[in-house]
């Protein structure tokens, strides 16, 4: 074969290659999809767990097995990034609604790392199964080939709540980042229902129902009046909650107790906060603190500052807000993948895309269910009709030389070669016109199905089947009816899984 040399400008090759790489990182790794609010690695971990059958009511399975399946079948990247994703999905101090039930050391709010994946175990939470993975068997989403085309994986998961808002997102791509705060599930559901009732609803009206972020660590958002603009682009200040505990008796000292921290303080920043307080004491910027101790446990955060007698508590609080991370800024940047492209979205845009996705899921789900029930009805009609002429069918079966001959008679009325007891039976058999499916079901029917009660049950099943068909056709035939079903599902999710708001939203002093 002759050698072929293509002459091209080096800078053009580099530019094209870098753009290809950038888009790959942006769309296929770092940013979440607006429809299910998940990055590819998160989606693949949850799907791999679903395929392993790690249901909430089953035993936990080794994390190493989950990571191995995810990496081998769907996500051909490093095992450490997959395990880190699994760990974060289980941490209720990072996720408003944790999606994985971790068993073992899955890290702590103070920044302790999780144990190695060979020691820890995990399974899905009931919330994840009901809200993120339900209906995958009903053709609601497209399945695409995996990296080596040996398996299929869902393009998106059929998530029934706006996960982008509920659990937030963070990611660093090439030339862009996303940083979306978590929100309260109940409030987000209310906002979605309000949008479905009125698509012209304003951002301010949505924020009456979903007033702002709800961080799993609690705290206080202190710029309520700026949140309207923040939901388009900006930043917001989040304070930790400080509780003053006066001395109970003379032997005790007054205390400042920190029970909630800013979301940005999770991990190593708790240690940094304590060292910053120590630094304030050592540099004599405050003389009011006698001792500092971290009494945090599984029950929650508790950082105790013992104060000297007659300490100026208000002044000390302000000093801590100013000089430490007890008051910090969370930079909001709502960036997600929309139709394969990165887009900055406001809260209304996110809800709008979510609703469109829900209509698509519902249409595909009820179309699949309708087809299934129509096939079921066809078979039930055939069996009911067969029960009425069961003596003739038995005669056809006994007189046929083989199964093919019997089936041909049931479907096409072909009586050639079949021995009948009478001409009347032969004439009656010639008029049969069962469908292929009906004939198959009749030939597979067991004799006990001819008992009186079984025939009554068959009629009952048929009536139920007809009712379901009417219901599904009604839903598919009217957007209003479909909206009712979607809203009903959302309200059931809110009822079962909704939690009280943890973060206070106010206009605080600077």
Which two three-digit tokens encode residue 72?
């081998």
Say if CB 261 and CB 279 are below 8 A apart. Answer: no
User: For residue 423, how far is the Cα from the chain centroid?
Assistant: 65
Question: Cα–Cα distance between 32 and 342 in angstroms, integer?
Answer: 9
**What torsion, rounded to 10 degrees, do the Cα atoms 452, 457, 462, 468 define?**
170
Going from the C-alpha of 10 to that of each of 7, 18, 24, the distances in angstroms are 9, 12, 21
Query: What sign does the dihedral 216-222-238-280 (CA atoms) show?
Result: negative
Question: Cα–Cα distance between 183 and 351 in angstroms, integer?
Answer: 13
Q: Within 210-262, where are the H helices? A: 227-230
Helix (H, G, I), strand (E, B) or coil at 214: coil
Q: Is 10 a catalytic residue?
A: no
Long-range contacts of range 422-427, CB-CB < 8 Å, 24 or more positions apart? 425/392, 425/395
Which two three-digit tokens encode residue 358?
């829900």
Which two three-digit tokens encode residue 277?
């307080």
Question: Cα–Cα distance between 159 and 171 in angstroms, integer?
Answer: 20
| Residue tagged active-site, from 119, 263, 462, 472 | 119
Active site residues: 119
């Amino acid at each position: 074969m002759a050698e072929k040399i293509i002459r091209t400008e080096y800078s053009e090759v580099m530019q094209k290659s870098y753009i290809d790489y950038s888009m790959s990182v942006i769309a296929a790794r770092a940013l979440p999809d607006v429809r299910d609010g998940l990055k590819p690695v998160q989606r693949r971990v949850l799907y791999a767990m679903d395929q392993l059958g790690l249901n909430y009511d089953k035993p936990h399975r080794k994390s190493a097995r989950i990571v191995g399946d995810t990496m081998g079948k769907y996500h051909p990247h490093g095992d450490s990034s997959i395990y880190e994703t699994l760990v974060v999905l289980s941490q209720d101090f990072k996720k408003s609604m944790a999606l994985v039930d971790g068993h073992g050391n899955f890290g702590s709010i103070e920044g302790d790392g999780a144990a190695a994946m060979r020691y820890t175990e995990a399974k899905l939470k009931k919330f994840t199964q009901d809200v993120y993975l339900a209906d995958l068997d009903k053709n609601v989403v497209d399945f695409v080939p995996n990296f080596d085309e040996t398996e299929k994986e869902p393009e998106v998961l059929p998530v029934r709540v706006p996960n982008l808002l509920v659990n937030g997102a963070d990611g660093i791509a090439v030339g862009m980042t996303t940083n979306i705060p978590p929100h309260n599930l109940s409030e987000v559901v209310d906002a979605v229902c309000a949008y479905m009732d009125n698509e012209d609803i304003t951002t301010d009206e949505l924020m009456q129902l979903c007033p702002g972020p709800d961080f799993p660590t609690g705290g206080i958002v202190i710029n309520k009046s700026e949140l309207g603009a923040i939901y388009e682009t900006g930043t917001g200040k989040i304070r930790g909650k400080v509780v003053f505990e006066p001395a109970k008796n003379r032997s005790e000292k007054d205390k400042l107790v920190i029970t909630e921290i800013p979301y940005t303080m999770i991990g190593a920043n708790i240690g940094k906060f304590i060292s910053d307080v120590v630094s304030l004491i050592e540099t004599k910027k405050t003389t009011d603190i006698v001792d500092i101790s971290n009494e945090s446990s599984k029950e929650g955060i508790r950082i105790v500052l013992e104060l000297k007698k007659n300490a100026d508590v208000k002044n000390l609080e302000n000093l801590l807000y100013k000089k430490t991370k007890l008051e910090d800024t969370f930079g909001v940047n709502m960036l997600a993948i929309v139709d394969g492209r990165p887009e900055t979205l406001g809260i209304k845009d996110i809800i709008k895309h979510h609703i469109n996705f829900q209509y698509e899921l519902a249409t595909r789900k009820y179309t699949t269910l309708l087809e299934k029930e129509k096939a079921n009805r066809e078979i039930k009609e055939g069996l009911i009709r067969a029960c009425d002429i069961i003596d003739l069918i038995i005669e056809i079966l006994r007189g046929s030389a083989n199964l093919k001959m019997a089936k041909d008679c049931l479907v096409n009325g072909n009586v050639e070669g079949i021995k009948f007891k009478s001409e009347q039976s032969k004439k009656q058999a010639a008029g049969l016109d069962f469908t292929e499916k009906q004939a198959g079901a009749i030939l597979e029917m067991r004799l006990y199905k001819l008992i009186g009660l079984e025939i009554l049950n068959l009629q009952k099943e048929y009536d139920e089947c007809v009712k379901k068909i009417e219901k599904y056709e009604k839903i598919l035939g009217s957007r209003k009816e479909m909206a009712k079903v979607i809203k009903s599902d959302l309200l059931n999710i809110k009822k079962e899984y909704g939690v009280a708001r943890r973060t206070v939203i106010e206009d605080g002093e600077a």
